[in-house]
Amino acid sequence: MEKQAVPAKGHKASQVLEDNVVLAMRGIDKTFPGTRALNNVDFTLREGEIHALMGENGAGKSTLIKVLTGVYPKDSGHIYVKGIQGEAHIHSPQEAQNIGISTVYQEINLCPNLTVAENMFIGRTKGARVQWSINEKKADKILRNLGIPAQANQELSRCSLAVQQMVAIARAVDMNCKVLILDEPTSSLDEKEVQMLFGLMRDLKSRGVGIIFVTHFLEQVYEVSDRITVLRNGELVGEYAVENLPQVELVARMMGKDLNDLADLEEIGQKKTAGETVVYEADKLSSTESKPFHFSIREGEVNGFTGLLGSGRSESVRAIFGADRVTGGSVKVKGKPVNITKPHDAMKAGIGYLPEDRKRDGIIADLSVRENIILALQVMKGFFHPMNQKETEKFADEYIKALKIKTASQDTPVGSLSGGNQQKVILARWLLTHPDYLILDEPTRGIDVGTKLEIQKLVLKLAAEENMSITFISSEIEEMLRTCSRLIVMRDRNIVGELTGDDLNQASVMKTIAGGGQ
Amino acid sequence: MLQKRNSRKADLSQLIIPLAALGILLLFNLIRGIVIGDLRFFSIGIGENIYGNTVLTGNLISIIDDASALAIIAMGMTLVTAACGGQDISVGAVGAISGAIFINVLAAFGLDKISVGTILVALLAATAVTIIFTLFNGTLVAVFKIQPMIATLILFSCGRSIAYMITGSATPQLNDPLINAIGKTIPGIPIPTPIFLVVIMGLLLTLIFKLTNLRLYTQTVGINQGAARLNGINPVIIKLLSFVILGICVSLAAMIQVCRLNQLAHKTLLDAIEMDAILAVAIGGNSLGGGKFRLSGTILGAYIILMLTNTLNDMNVSADSIKAYKAIVIIIIVIAGSPGIKNKISELWKKSRSRSSKAMAGR
Amino acid sequence: MKMTVKTSEVHTRHRQPMTDTKLLMLIAIGTFIVMYAFAMIFIGKRFLTIKEIFNLLNNNAYLIILGCSLTIVMIGGSIDISVGGVVCLSAMSCAKLLQYLQAQGIEGPLGVILSLLLALGIGLLFGIEQGYLVSYLEIQPFIVTLAGMFLSRGVTTMVSSENVPIKHAGFQAFKSIALQVPNVFKLELGAAIALLVLIGMYLLLRHHKLGRSIYALGGNRQSALMLGINVKRSRFLSHVISSVLAGLAGYVFIMHASSGKTSIGLRSEMDAIAAAIIGGTLLTGGVGNVFGTFIGVMILSTIQEIMAASKVQESYWQEIASGALLGFFIMLQSVVLSGREKRRAKKNTMVAAEVKG
């Protein structure tokens, strides 16, 4: 599908901003040490348009937004906003707000202990006196106007998350925003609340507000957006009108694939056929974050959970590991019923888990590389059996070499390593425990291409030589196609398909991820 | 090429501040001693105590001796701080309770029949009761997730009253040679017993760290509780365990003080020791927000506090005003380690380096 | 698709739905009533007079002011344990100043005014120092104010290590101003000042931008920052106000007491914290109100009176009762807070479960 024509760079602001364009970003570059986050990216937003901004991890979505809202300075490029003469130079979120660009984040940046009205007006008035009744009347008017079911004098924490979000939007609207950025607004909402939010969005649309809708929920994008901009690896893939882009095409663009490309995957190793013994089996397993699902994996099998980011892959495996609170279902490990309510139980049952968010859930930043590597194994050996210095040094040495971890020494605090090397440390940690069943959630994220391949080869080797069962989660389809013999596809928090054998090709995967529609 | 030396280097850097403080204090006293012509501060000698035994005497000895109770409690406080990220301000009050039980049990056996056996039983009983109280605090912190300082506010307020309730208004005097042996010196051994007890406690904890994973688990829980859990560690148990160890430390310290003073004064026993203990932990380079810790730093911190008090006393500063000076020391140390200052220093550092590199480039 | 909302659902007046804070304060008020009723029934006589309530006010005026100090600081998510020491330093310094003025023969109203300025000035110094360290250097408030406590108590003994009797004529005259109906009630000037402070703080917290900024900061610091509130300045000012009020409390103290002592205000910071907690100020910040704290002070002082009046020999019971009460309210807060968390978590669970299949 062709790209929609965008106004060319280098034109004067008045030419770039056609009549109905409220925001034009041209040639935006942003580099961080080690990564090129944005490379010559363009973005256009029109009046009264709901424009979805999409891309997988590392695509540059959040960087683009942060550049637009003044959190990061851009390296080069131009930003034009309707009503501003010449270029808009935005140095802080406050400045962005002042020129009409407002953002509503996923973690609602309001104060739950204040009332709805207060949240709408605080930080905006010049006077010292707080005018309760005036503010409440004004707030009520705005709330009625936008159809938001909240009372001005209600404490914000008493409102549901969806309503809180709408209050944040109301504040932005009251500040006469021309551009409203909604950053993953529907992640914590139920169906009814999503519809309520969409109603408000359509209302704003009719008032001429331009909305940038950052999300990964495919169906929602098609339900409510007018246009879609796709980013990938910091570059603009294209801007499309929603009616011109079938879902499958969108997925293909996001993943950088050409649907029709049936080129053979570079083979990196033989996929072993799985053994007969079922190593792990879950029946109607549910947690506080995931709906009941069935799952089983056999000895030596490598399976994958795929789908777009946020489709529910991580939540499912966290339920398996007991990382989230398990609310129902039964689990059998090697045929025997097992009660897994916390990670320690899973570890004892021979399960290992490399978490998706290494900073929050993985590394113990102030402790050394060595201590981080031996941590899980140490816990499994038990409180009263500390390993001696020589042993731990040997293990650490082994894995630093094997995974080529770049560190000044074993004793460097792991927090000072680069992201990719931190990832390798966590990987080493779990490999060291030699689990029967290893769950790897995005193990190659942030790792250089060469090592990515090494890890994939390693996965195959572990399955083949040690009969380890592995669940491999990745946003990159080829990684999974190379290693997995079975792929479970998820979309919008549901399991929508399972692919094996001949279906393990890019086209089928993407079709299954994308689902119906057009 | 992996350098193992790095680890010791990294850990030792934590000791820079306490060692520097110690150095400054010693230097100050040295200069002052030379100026006034009296180096009594550094005196160590052999003499006879009132019971006719040969003992080590002298100012330095007495500083180390006096610091014993503080050092022991501060060790326990280090663990609680490391695991829970907060401080226990009830240790003095709970110490009073501990001392009360100790004396009462001894009295139950008969104050004229004190023996090693009765002392041990009394100590065990006191420790058991103390642990009950520290576990109360621990439960509030670990299970109810209340901030440590607030949770321990309860016992801080009424702990000493509970101690009074236990002993009543009677204040039995302990005048037994065995008691003196604990509080002062064992006949035949020139080093004061409390110093031994500090060493024993220190060795005990070191042994625990060697034979178990307590250090690793405690530091992990203190640094990242969520990740600790995902590696199979139970943060609640670790936190409770830190309070149990604190309980043991408190009861040992209380016994030392009771034996030194030959009685229990519930209002003044271990008075204000919680603040000194927290200070010792901070001076020792440990983060008050939890995580990595180093016991040796804390012990140094305890001695530094006593040395500071001693120095000020020597300069005829009144006991009460000493608080003011302690405060200033705290402020200086804490400002030096604050994020605000660290940021400013790193900014200045960066500026000077870029300036010098620009200068180089310009040439 | 507009959501229609019935106009009858719109409340335009201030009547707010029951919040957790209101609940906590109601419990505090209830506790006070129960306690006072207990006192009236079992100890009788004295407690049945209005005079007694005013006695409570007069005796604890300084603590009421300290309660306000702690309340404002805790609402902003910080803590101040130096207030007891500042009260002591302020009281002692004023006493010393009055003694000096008396010795110089200056016994007029000048003494009253100068000592007030001194008290406020001392508070201001501590407030600025502590506020700066906490807010701009980002040092933990517990340590900063602990140092403040040590510093103030230490300096107090430098000012004077013995009791300083107050015999300044002008001040004595000033002290004795009171609103009274003989044998019915007597409201001393100190208590009146305390009540004025209460009202002033209420107005500040409820109707002034600074007060609301402090609430916002305590509720969610990151959000407050993004909403455009000057978070650092708000926290700084909360500490300044806290310490200035502590200075004032010292002044009010010597309006009721006859001399300056080094033991003034010992542990009163803990009483103030307890009063604030009992009155519904949340330890985590963002929630609190001065009237609840006032009730907390009243409850604590009622316990004191009950103990004294019932001639309970063992005075330790009072401390234990206060401690137990504090413990009860701390756990109550924890329960209420976790109830909030569970409600929020439940919403998310239902959310996860209802996502369409």
CATH code (residue C123): 1.10.3470
**Are A22 and A96 members of one domain?**
yes
What mean pLDDT value characterizes chain B?
85
How many angstroms separate the CA atoms of C10 and A145, rounded?
13
As given in the structure block, the two tokens for residue A153 are: 């004098």
**Are B205 and B350 members of one domain?**
no
Residue in C closest to B137 by C-alpha: C327
Return the pLDDT at C356.
Answer: 30
Could you tell me if residue C133 is left (phi over 0), alpha (psi between -120 and 50 degrees) or otherwise beta? alpha
Q: How many CB atoms lie within 10 A of CB C11?
A: 15
How many angstroms separate the CA atoms of A351 and A282, rounded?
13
- Position A184 pLDDT exceeds 90: no
CATH classification of the domain holding A445: 3.40.50.300
- The owner of tokens 């719109």 is C10
DSSP 3-state assignment of B286?
A: coil
Residue C215 lies in a domain: yes
b/e per residue A45-77 (b: at least 16 CB within 10 A): bbbbbbbbbbbbbbbbbbbbbbbbbbbbebeeb
Return the pLDDT at B316.
Answer: 81
b/e per residue A356-365 (b: at least 16 CB within 10 A): bebeebbbbb
Range of the domain at A446: 272-350+435-507
Residue B3 lies in a domain: no
C354 contacts chain B (CB < 8 A):
no
Write phi, then psi, for A166 (nearest 5 degrees). Answer: -65, -35
What mean pLDDT value characterizes chain A?
86
Looking at A434, A461, A490, which one is the last position of a domain? A434
How many angstroms separate the CA atoms of B251 and B163, rounded?
13
C-contacting residues of A 166-195, CB under 8 Å? 188-191, 193, 195
Return the pLDDT at B26.
Answer: 86
In chain A, DSSP finds a helix count (H) and a strand count (E) of 17, 19
Residue in A closest to B220 by C-alpha: A364
For residues A231 and C7, which has the higher predicted lDDT (pLDDT)? A231
Residue B7 lies in a domain: no
Which residues lie across from A80 on neighbouring strands? A24
Tell me which chain A residues have a C-beta less than 8 angstroms from the C-beta of C286: 111-113
Q: B363 pLDDT band (50/70/90 cuts)?
A: very low
Of A140, A149, A493, the CB nearest to C3: A149
Residue C10 lies in a domain: no
**Are B312 and B329 members of one domain?**
no
Residue A515 lies in a domain: no
How many angstroms separate the CA atoms of C111 and B196, rounded?
58
Residue C328 lies in a domain: yes
Range of the domain at B330: 325-363
- Asked if A375 and A353 count as a contact pair (C-beta separation under 8 A), the reply is no
Residue B209 lies in a domain: yes
Nearest to C186 by CA among C55, C36, C49: C55
Nearest to C74 by CA among C124, C147, C145: C145
Residue in A closest to C21 by C-alpha: A113
**Are B280 and B138 members of one domain?**
yes
What dihedral angle (degrees, nearest 10) is formed by the CA atoms of C111, C112, C113, C119? Answer: 100
CA C345 to chain centroid: 34
DSSP 3-state assignment of A336?
A: strand
Helices (DSSP H) in chain B: which residue ranges?
5-12, 16-36, 59-66, 68-84, 91-109, 116-142, 148-151, 153-167, 177-183, 193-211, 214-223, 225-230, 235-261, 273-283, 295-314, 322-336, 339-362
Looking at A127, A150, A172, which one is the last position of a domain? A172
- Position A261 pLDDT exceeds 80: no
- Position C40 pLDDT exceeds 60: yes
Number of domains in chain B: 2
- The owner of tokens 């309070």 is B243
> How far does B360 lie from chain C, in Å, by closest CA?
34
Query: A179-183 and A210-214: which strand pairing?
Result: parallel
Residue A267 lies in a domain: no
Rg (CA), chain C: 22
**Are A95 and A25 members of one domain?**
yes
Q: C14 pLDDT band (50/70/90 cuts)?
A: very low
A496 contacts chain C (CB < 8 A):
no
Residue A6 lies in a domain: no
List residues of B whose CB lies inside 8 A of any C CB. Answer: 87, 140, 144-147, 149-151, 153-162, 164-165, 275, 278, 282, 288-289, 318, 320-328, 330-331, 334-335, 338-341
Looking at A392, A411, A434, which one is the last position of a domain? A434
Residue C2 lies in a domain: no
- pTM value? 0.82
CB contact under 8 A, A343 and B230: yes
Cβ-Cβ contacts under 8 Å between A and B: the total is 95
**Are A212 and A303 members of one domain?**
no
Return the pLDDT at B248.
Answer: 97
- Asked if C230 and C217 count as a contact pair (C-beta separation under 8 A), the reply is no
CB contact under 8 A, A383 and B223: no
pLDDT in tens, A26-76: 999 998 877 788 999 999 999 999 999 998 777 888 889 989 988 888 899
**Are B213 and B345 members of one domain?**
no
Q: What is the mean pLDDT of residues A227-256?
A: 88
C132 secondary structure, DSSP code: I
CB contact under 8 A, A190 and C351: yes
**Are A338 and A456 members of one domain?**
yes
How many angstroms separate the CA atoms of C292 and C203, rounded?
15
Least confident of A30-34, B80-84, C154-158, C351-355: C351-355
Tell me which chain B residues have a C-beta less than 8 angstroms from the C-beta of A412: 6
Residue B9 lies in a domain: no
Q: How many CB atoms lie within 10 A of CB B224?
A: 23
**Are A340 and A488 members of one domain?**
yes
**Are A238 and A295 members of one domain?**
no
Residue A414 lies in a domain: yes
Residue A261 lies in a domain: no
pLDDT in tens, C160-217: 888 888 888 888 888 888 887 777 778 888 999 999 999 999 999 999 999 999 999 9
Residue B121 lies in a domain: yes
**Are B199 and B348 members of one domain?**
no
**Are A90 and A200 members of one domain?**
yes
Number of domains in chain C: 1
**Type and span of the H or E element at A366:** none
Residue C12 lies in a domain: no
Number of domains in chain A: 4
**Are B345 and B245 members of one domain?**
no
Residue C349 lies in a domain: no
**Are A346 and A281 members of one domain?**
yes
For residues C306 and A270, which has the higher predicted lDDT (pLDDT)? C306
**Are A215 and A342 members of one domain?**
no
Write phi, then psi, for A197 (nearest 5 degrees). Answer: -65, -45
- Position A500 pLDDT exceeds 80: yes
Least confident of A37-51, B84-98, B233-247, C263-277: C263-277
Return the pLDDT at A118.
Answer: 92
Range of the domain at C216: 20-337
Residue C176 lies in a domain: yes
Least confident of A181-190, B222-231, C109-118: A181-190
**Are A382 and A456 members of one domain?**
no
Rg (CA), chain B: 22
A102 contacts chain C (CB < 8 A):
no
**Are A94 and A187 members of one domain?**
yes
Of A347, A393, A411, the CB nearest to B6: A411
- Position C57 pLDDT exceeds 60: yes
Residue B163 lies in a domain: yes
Return the pLDDT at B52.
Answer: 67
pLDDT in tens, A315-371: 999 999 999 999 999 999 998 999 999 999 999 999 999 998 888 899 999 999 999
**Are A337 and A449 members of one domain?**
yes
- Position A213 pLDDT exceeds 90: yes
CATH classification of the domain holding B35: 1.10.3470
Residue A106 lies in a domain: no
Rg (CA), chain A: 25
CA B98 to chain centroid: 17
